[in-house]
Amino acid sequence: MAGLIKREDIDEVRNRTDLKEVIDGYVTLRSAGVGSWKGLCPFHDERSPSFHVRPQVGSFHCFGCGESGDAIAFLQKINHGTFSETVEQLAARVGVELHYEDGGTGPRREEIGRRQRLLDAHKIAEEFFREQLSTPGAAEGQKFLSERGFDEEAAAQFGVGYAPQGWDAALKHLRGRGFQDEELKLTGIFSEGNRGIYDRFRGRLIWPIRDLSGATIGFGARKLYEDDQGPKYLNTPETQLYKKSQVLYGVDLAKREITKTRQLVVVEGYTDVMACHLSGIGTAVATCGTAFGADHIKIARRLLRDDGSGGEVVFTFDGDAAGQKAALRAFEEDQKFIAQTYVAVEPTGADPCDLRQTRGPEAVRELIDAKRPLFEFAIKAGLKNFNLNTVEGRVQALRVSAPIVAGIRDSAIRPAYARELAGWLGMDMEDVNRSVGAAVRRNRMPKSAEPVHGNQTQGTQEQPATPVYTRPDPRDPVSRMEREALEVVLQQPAQLSAEQWQAFYDARFMAPAHAAVHDAVRAAGQSGATPSQWVEAIRQEVPEPLRSFVSELAVTPLPASTNDALLRYCNDIINRLFELQITHMKAEKMGELQRMDPAGDPEGFQRINRELLELELRRRSLRQE
């Protein structure tokens, strides 16, 4: 089992490590006097060097951001590794044998040796592929890169190579460097058949996939020839080194810029990463044949120092249906970040590689600059599923959208998006605020809080779950009024006139549980049934979990001691409900008016103004009643 490294061994690693030699691999240092060196800090963005190194005392310090420490601290910060991992890496580098406390052990020597052999094999394979890209046999690969605006310098920057056609070019090369077939089987660079192992990548462009330390752990290969029956992109399979859900292509090149700028840009492919970096977006990475998931988020949070002090993650997706689906899938992971999440979608569907090629690097930068909050994208994508020209469509859209607004972590901007949502829906601001506020309260509600009904439908196969209707908040004036109106309708249906019944049918209820009962009342109709039959008819129309709630509404005492008082109470409650509906309708008409061009449709413009006036007169009449 793992144990703590003994203190004296850690001290020995520090003593033997040349701090300047370590930092030289990441920072260009210039002399700053006797025994002192300085350069641009790798931990924050700066133009004048404030990062100082004194090898004699084994320490560095940045006067700009305050980062400081020894060689172990530097590598731990730059590679985002653990303390023990960093000490073990340095110990192997300087030849110190480590010992562990309490009988614990570090990585076994044979495990270290096997892992190192795998890393060595990948390094040699990468060098081989890169050399092959400049040969005549790689003409198709050279053409592919050239057509996408990548020259030899760009290919070298990203380590792009070429796997020759044939079955054993890479195999022969690695065998010639002393590797045995049993070792090569573990690399993922080769496939195995009846006659032994053979090259996995043949006649393809090759991108090296590296970990945070810059070590190559796998490859991604792009098809070039029509007779290649394989997939368009072929990646290394899962190995001891390569776990596709735990790697991000380009992270070795982007990590320093990500740490400096507190920004991570997630694109969809290898060429998109290249295009972004060559366009000045040095924070771009890509997943390797899988969706951006929980393990990728862990890497991102380490790089961003996702601790609540800022940072942003920008996802780029195609504008097509698949891209929208991917963006919404990313939104599902949003709450695992503290950093703000955004989406950048190019309306024409062009990816960063296409943009750079057709419109230049500035178009790629404009795409990222035009990012939108991911929750805004999710809201607007959801609104497309509803007919916003109908009352029902707007109410349904609000029910779906309010929880998204409520989930915005920054409470300072949540009200602003509630206002935006009200405008997009053409609804009254108070209605939207109430729905968002109710969703916020539900988010804060303990998991043990009692809902109106039981649990969701359970099952091993995916199926629509029974909706969970949380109990409407009695402290909310609108929710309380809706409940009182339903109590009147269930208990005293005869008190409503035909006009009031029609107005009730047309009314809009905001609380989902109340809306479901309202729908049931409309479905039950007025059949001249007895009060008990009336209530039972409504009970049968609501979803099963709400039947006890209907009974509750039907037996709640109404605050009236005489028939006259009961009549006045019922009339007052129904009129208050209608007044609220008029307010809703006015908000809708105002939204429609704002979307209208008066010059293009003068008659429609005048008609809506007349309707607004009629609604206001009706509202005043109700108040007088």
pLDDT tens, residue by residue, 477-520: 888 889 999 988 888 888 888 878 888 888 888 889 999 999 99
Give CA–CA dist 329/346, Å, rounded. 18
* Distance between CA atoms of residues 422 and 433, nearest Å: 9
User: In angstroms, rounded to a whole number, what is the distance separating the alpha carbons of residues 255 and 509?
Assistant: 51
Residue 126 phi/psi, 5-degree rounding, is -60, -45
DSSP 8-state assignment for residue 44: S
pLDDT at 452: 56
* pLDDT the model gives residue 565: 87
User: What DSSP string describes 183-245?
Assistant: HHTTTSSEEEETTEEEES--SEEEEEEE-TTS-EEEEEEEE--TT--S-SEEEPPP-SS--GG
Q: 123 near 214, Cβ under 8 Å?
A: no
Specify the pLDDT at position 519. Answer: 92
Question: Angle 63-67-69 (CA atoms, 0-180°, nearest 5)?
Answer: 115
Q: Long-range CB contacts (< 8 A, 24+ apart) of 614-619? A: 615/582, 615/585, 615/586, 615/589, 616/586, 618/582, 619/579, 619/582, 619/583, 619/586
User: Do 227 and 220 form a contact (C-beta atoms < 8 A)?
Assistant: no
In 3D space, the residue among 340, 347, 348 whose CA is nearest the CA of residue 375 turns out to be 340
Q: Are strands 312-317 and 263-267 parallel, antiparallel or unpaired?
A: parallel
Per-residue pLDDT of 3-61, as tens digits, reads 688 888 888 898 888 989 898 877 888 888 767 888 888 887 677 888 988 887 788 88
The pLDDT assigned to 357 comes to 93
Euclidean distance between CA atoms 98 and 88, whole angstroms: 8
pLDDT attached to residue 2? 52
84-93 residue pLDDT tens: 888 988 888 8
Residues 583 and 539: beta-carbon distance below 8 Å: no
User: Is 456 in contact with 468 (CB distance < 8 Å)?
Assistant: yes
SS3 state of residue 267: strand
Query: Which parts of the chain have pLDDT scores under 50?
Result: 1, 446-450, 453-465
What is the pLDDT, as a whole number, of residue 115? 79
